[in-house]
Structure 1
Amino acid sequence: MLEAEQVAHAYAGWIAHGEPGFQAMMRRDLHDHVSGRRGPETWDMVWSWIESSFAERRAELHGWGRLDDGRIAVWVTLHGRHVGRGMPWLGDRAPSGAQVAWKQLHVFATDGEHLTEHWAVRDDLGVIEAVDAANA
């Protein structure tokens, strides 16, 4: 059975370094409610955006737990330096070198053994504001 702490640490390793253990936890038809896509390969695309947008990445885990309905919540901040335009919501902003703190809350449904669904709330605007301030 997947444990919340196990998922949290795997996610932190993935968002900071692209470690594959997180995607290995996913069912082949995992539904990502953020993108509307299905499958672990969706996360390959997201990783390419992260890797090309932020350098010197590290994940700060704030907490994790199991919600009343059994879903797993992971609260994390990705710290890094803005170096590129990979994230679609960064638009045409030039690499700024800004240090960013990208706060995120992820929720995962499971079937006990695999992650089956994903939702997220992220502070994309906070990252955009840091990039814009550095480019001003």
Structure 2
Amino acid sequence: MSTIDAETCIRSMTIMGSGDLDELSRVVHPRATNREAKDEPPACRGQGPAAFVATAHWLRSAFADLTFDVHDAVTDGDLTVVHCTMSGRQVGPFVAYDERGAVAQAFPATGRRFAITQTHWFRMKDGQVVEHWANRDDMGLARQLGWVPPSPAFLLRMARATRQARRAAA
């Protein structure tokens, strides 16, 4: 196991949560790709640190106190896997995007806290993250934040938040 690769991957996650985004260029390769960006804003779908910074801004616009509590990290060759719990509090709308980059849905802020398990996969090159993908407990997130089962009032708030997000994106 390469301790340096595992530390680099964990550092990238810490930076995403902390907001010290200038440091991402030290740990993210110029040609890095986030395979999870398909549901994120168009700015997140590029390559390199700028796309990862866009993902961090997107997450932090919806979630305050974002932290990743690492349980395990394993490296084999150029691949590092990190099992963690992501936690925070929803303070802004969480906006999901479709494959064309248009707003698909927006989940209005609930102010609730959450903690969900995730597994992040990182491919490394030259000591930097060059590829990322993840398995997340999205249903657990939705339940903890009160998105499901939706109440009639929440559905109305969701429709309003989606309209506002679409206007802002236009």
| TM-score normalised per structure 2 | 0.67
Q: Which residue does the alignment assign to 2:93?
A: 85
28, 31, 36: which one pairs with 1:29?
31
Could you tell me which runs of 5 or more consecutive residues in structure 2 were left unpaired when the two chains were aligned.
Answer: 38-44, 98-103, 152-170
Q: 1:55 to 1:31 in 2, by over 3 A?
A: closer
Residues 42-76 of structure 1: CA deviation (Å, up to 9, x unaligned): 11211112111111233211111103x43011112
Greater helix fraction, Structure 1 or Structure 2: 2
CA contact (8 A) 1:72 1:108 kept: yes
- Mapped partners of 1:14, 1:74: distance in 2: 15
Moved more, 82-91 or 41-50: 82-91
Q: CA RMSD in A?
A: 2.6
Deviation of 1:96 after TM superposition, in Å, equals 0.9
Tell me which stretches of 4 or more aligned residues in structure 1 moved more than 6 Å. Answer: none
Aligned residues: 135
Could you tell me which runs of 5 or more consecutive residues in structure 1 were left unpaired when the two chains were aligned.
Answer: none
48, 53, 64: which one pairs with 1:44?
53
Larger C-alpha radius of gyration, 1 or 2? 2
Q: Which residue does the alignment assign to 1:10?
A: 11
- Mapped partners of 2:95, 2:118: distance in 1: 15
CA contact (8 A) 1:63 1:74 kept: yes
Q: Which residue does the alignment assign to 1:74?
A: 82
